[in-house]
Amino acid sequence: MAERPLLGGLEAGGTKFVCAVGTGPDDIRALERFPTTTPEETLGRVIDFFRRQPEPIAALGIGSFGPVDPDPGSPTYGYITTTPKPGWAHTDVAGTLRRALNVPVAFDTDVNAAALGEQRWGAGRGLHTFVYLTIGTGIGGGVIVNGRRHHGRQHPEIGHLFIPRLPGDDRPGHCPFHGDCLEGLASGPAIAARWGRPAPELPPNHPAWDEVAQYLAFGLANLILTLSPQRLILGGGVMHQTHLFPRIRRHVAACINGYVALPDLDTFIVPPALGDRAGVLGALALAEEVMSGLKHGIL
Amino acid sequence: MAERPLLGGLEAGGTKFVCAVGTGPDDIRALERFPTTTPEETLGRVIDFFRRQPEPIAALGIGSFGPVDPDPGSPTYGYITTTPKPGWAHTDVAGTLRRALNVPVAFDTDVNAAALGEQRWGAGRGLHTFVYLTIGTGIGGGVIVNGRRHHGRQHPEIGHLFIPRLPGDDRPGHCPFHGDCLEGLASGPAIAARWGRPAPELPPNHPAWDEVAQYLAFGLANLILTLSPQRLILGGGVMHQTHLFPRIRRHVAACINGYVALPDLDTFIVPPALGDRAGVLGALALAEEVMSGLKHGIL
Ligand SMILES: Nc1ncnc2c1ncn2[C@@H]1O[C@H](COP(=O)(O)OP(=O)(O)O)[C@@H](O)[C@H]1O
Ligand SMILES: Nc1ncnc2c1ncn2[C@@H]1O[C@H](COP(=O)(O)OP(=O)(O)O)[C@@H](O)[C@H]1O
Ligand SMILES: [Zn+2]
Ligand SMILES: [Zn+2]
């Protein structure tokens, strides 16, 4: 039996980078996290990490913060494009790493990578249509339709859905583009700004949480009505508040109000089976895709 | 050169049925509309129409009001299922017509059929991802992803998206399930109830229209953020108010506010190229799909 090739994965986040070497969730040979600083320094640490490994990787997968260009046919494939993050606009992440490490590289958005990780090894196994949503510093999602990561004309931006305000809530939203879109009402920084305390410090019985659950439920209801997914996987720092899950399930059912039949909510709205490793494992799964593409001669 | 087979199409609407025989938009041999009454009478008229034709059809396509079961693998495939419409719940539309006319039958939702019609012969030609939305007695849509009609776990219900209220609007919405979802704020009957006059009688400069355009724009923005479509095709009775198009385009751009790059709006948000015939022509296109399936031996 042939040995499985050693894969490299990079979760390139706006706050931190996570690098891993291995073949899957049960075989991670090395893993390292470091803060996102300048492109030079940060990509330098990535290159150094992979060069330091005792065995070379056969391919590298990258899930990156954005906006990115994930279109393999485009001249700027693998770039971070117009980000406001200082220094990072128009950075050729995939090309830089491919040239330095001399391996085939696959590149997609961070949330698509996490969705792929869950599809390959987690809560998305066996599903044709599902959504992975992360509720953290921002809100973003990866959409899988008919087994494939959905891009469309560009790619989805489901963190910024427009949703109703709750009666009596007149505190401003915090999205710089839209004010009170989903991200502006329910991301970690939005919760902190709207309630005057960092989200992790708000106790579970604080009224913030039921409001957040309600806003997230409106967003999920819109995803259900548009995509008719088989599952909604919710990750990110804010979802460390696990009491949000039952609240969100209740509010989604109330919103939809019988208009479409919902499956068992406890298995429909779930945390990522890979936990906070969904992103970096998804990057490994991207590398695995490159390998099987090479094997089948399509790259 | 082989002659193209003669196709039958049925648009089964909650208000009216439309039957056609032909091979495409430029070759409609017969077309008939009649009001939707009881299933017996209405399906009887359909059977009668097709039996009366000088040449027999080779296959029948049906786009039906719903909720329907469009899953060819299901025992109730081709049924209208739980509709509140008196007499129509659990009606085997496809089976009844297949047995009476003795031809292969394809069945989908009315909006998916219209989307297919636009994809085959109209404003969806050459596109991989787009949405057909009808704004009429209700609001509903067909979603094409990667060239295929999207179903997901069940099928989308994009007429009922949850959207923000405009400041100062405290008139109730009219969806029996959700109150002020998109359909509850912007369908024909909702407009009539909210402004005290039938929608067709409201003059173009009436304030209703800018409000309707704004609510539709929120719904379209949510579709853009979720599906990243190449085009949004808006049909149905309400869109006969063609002044809505420029207003909607303006409000969509304002909503999105530069967060995702939008293509030229005049070709992005458009009326159906097939006009009010999108539904029945889409049904013909469904019949055409059956024929090519038969030819390729997959049915
Ligand atoms: N236990 C927690 N409870 C509530 N909010 C949290 C918790 N942990 C992290 N957060 C919030 O989540 C955000 C960080 O999200 P995270 O998913 O960890 O990273 P990022 O989105 O930057 O990749 C911060 O706004 C933080 O306040
Ligand atoms: N010219 C018009 N202007 C505004 N509203 C219209 C117009 N024509 C039809 N409507 C409204 O559209 C709805 C009917 O929609 P239509 O698409 O024709 O049929 P249905 O949705 O029943 O298949 C009614 O509520 C009607 O008032
Ligand atoms: Zn926003
Ligand atoms: Zn509704």
Whether residue A74 has its Cβ less than 6 Å from ligand 1: no
- Ligand 1 test: best mutation among A36, A132, A238, most atoms within 8 Å of CB? A238
ipTM of the complex: 0.95
Q: Which amino acid is at A230?
A: Q
Chains A & B: contacts with CB separation below 8 Å: 120
Interface test with A, best of B227, B251, B252, B269 (most A CBs within 10 A): B227
Question: Where in B65-101 does DSSP place strands (E)?
Answer: 79-80, 91-92
**Distance spanning both ends of chain A, measured CA to CA:** 24
**Dist. CA A190 → ligand 3 center (Å):** 11
Contact A179/B at CB under 8 A? no
- Structure confidence by residue, pLDDT tens digits, A276-287: 999 999 999 999
Nearest to B154 among A154, A160, A260 (CB): A260
**Does the Cβ of B137 fall within 6 Å of ligand 2?**
yes
pLDDT over 70 (residue B295): no
**What region does A208 belong to: left with phi over 0, alpha with psi -120 to 50, or beta?**
alpha
Per-residue pLDDT in tens (0 to 9) along chain A, 299 residues: 457 899 999 999 999 999 999 999 999 999 999 999 999 999 999 999 999 999 999 999 999 998 899 888 899 999 999 888 899 999 999 999 999 999 999 999 999 999 999 999 999 999 999 999 999 999 999 999 999 999 999 889 999 999 999 999 999 999 999 999 999 999 999 999 999 999 999 999 999 999 999 999 999 999 999 999 999 999 999 999 999 999 999 999 999 999 999 999 999 999 999 999 999 999 999 999 999 887 665 54
B299: pLDDT strictly greater than 70: no
Chain A interface test: which of B153, B183, B220, B265 (most A C-beta within 10 Å): B153
Average pLDDT over chain B, rounded to whole?
Answer: 95
* CB B202 near ligand 2, within 6 Å: no
pLDDT tens-place string over residues B208-251: 999 999 999 999 999 999 999 999 999 999 999 999 999 999 99
* DSSP bridge partners of B233: B132, B270
Domains (ranges, CATH) in chain A?
7-109 (3.30.420.40), 123-271 (3.30.420.40)
What's the pLDDT band for B66 if we cut at 50, 70, 90? confident
Q: Ligand 2 pocket, B293 CB below 6 A? A: no
pLDDT given at position B83: 84
CA distances from A31 to A8, A34, A47, A280, B80 (A): 10, 10, 13, 9, 54
pLDDT score at A296: 63
Atom of ligand 1 nearest to the CA of A13: 23
Residues of B in contact with A145 (CB under 8 A): 145-146, 150, 152
Select from B129, B154, B223 the Cβ nearest to the Cβ of A261. B154
pLDDT (0 to 100) of residue A117: 98
> Is the pLDDT reported for residue B5 higher than 80?
yes
Is the shortest distance between the CB of B208 and ligand 2 below 6 Å?
A: no
* Most informative mutation of A137, A185, A195 for ligand 1 (most atoms within 8 A of CB): A137
C-alpha torsion A23→A28→A34→A36, nearest 10: 20
Q: Whole-prediction pTM value?
A: 0.95
Contact yes or no for A178 and B153 at CB 8 A: no
- Read off the pLDDT band of B297 (50, 70, 90): low
Contact between A162 and B164 using a beta-carbon 8 Å cutoff: yes
| In the predicted structure, residue B296 carries a pLDDT above the cut 80 | no
Are A165 and B165 within 8 A, CB to CB?
yes
> Which of A199, A227, A292 lies closest to B227 in space, CA to CA?
A227
Q: Which among A153, A223, A259 has the least Cβ separation from residue B230?
A: A153
* pLDDT for residue B1: 44
Taking the CA of residue A136 as reference, the ligand 1 atom at the shortest distance is 15
Residue A224's nearest CA partner among B143, B173, B145, B154 is B154
pLDDT at A263 (0 to 100): 97
Three-state secondary structure string covering chain A: CCCCCCEEEEEECCCEEEEEEEEECCEEEEEEEEECCCHHHHHHHHHHHHHHCCCCCCEEEEEECCCECCCCCCCCCCEECCCCCCCCCCEEHHHHHHHHHCCCEEEEEHHHHHHHHHHHHCCCCCCCCEEEEEECCCEEEEEEECCEECCCCCCCCHHHCCCCCCCCCCCCCCECCCECCHHHHHCHHHHHHHHCCCHHHCCCCCHHHHHHHHHHHHHHHHHHHHHCCCEEEEECHHHHCCCHHHHHHHHHHHHHCCCCCCCCHHHHEECCCCHHHHHHHHHHHHHHHHHHHHHCCCC
Task: Judge whether A76 is closer than 8 Å to chain B, CB to CB.
Answer: no
Q: What are phi and psi of A33, to 5 degrees?
A: -120, 140
Please name which of B219, B78, B213 lies closest in space to residue B140, comparing C-alpha atoms. B219
Q: Computed from CA positions of residues B182, B188, B192, B195, in that sequence, does the dihedral angle turn out positive or negative?
A: positive
User: Which of the listed residues B15, B238, B277 should we mutate to test ligand 2's pocket, taking the one with most ligand atoms within 8 A of CB?
Assistant: B238
Q: Cβ distance B232 to B268 under 8 Å?
A: yes
Amino acid type, A220 = L
pLDDT of residue A295: 67
pLDDT at B49 over 80: yes
B42 lines ligand 2 (CB under 6 A): no
* % of chain B at pLDDT higher than 70: 98
Any atom of ligand 2 within 6 Å of the Cβ of B136:
yes
CA distance B221 to B228: 10
Task: Sort out which chain A residues have CB atoms less than 8 A from B215's CB and list them.
Answer: none
Q: Looking at the complex, does the CB of residue A225 fall below 8 Å from at least one CB of chain B?
A: yes
CA distance B135 to B187: 6
Q: Output the CA B241–ligand 2 centroid distance in Å.
A: 10
Is A190 in contact with A184 (CB distance < 8 Å)? yes
User: Which of B212, B210, B232, B234 has its CA nearest to residue B222?
Assistant: B232
Q: What would the pLDDT profile of B124-173 be if each residue is shown by its tens digit? A: 999 999 999 999 999 999 999 999 999 999 889 999 999 999 999 999 99
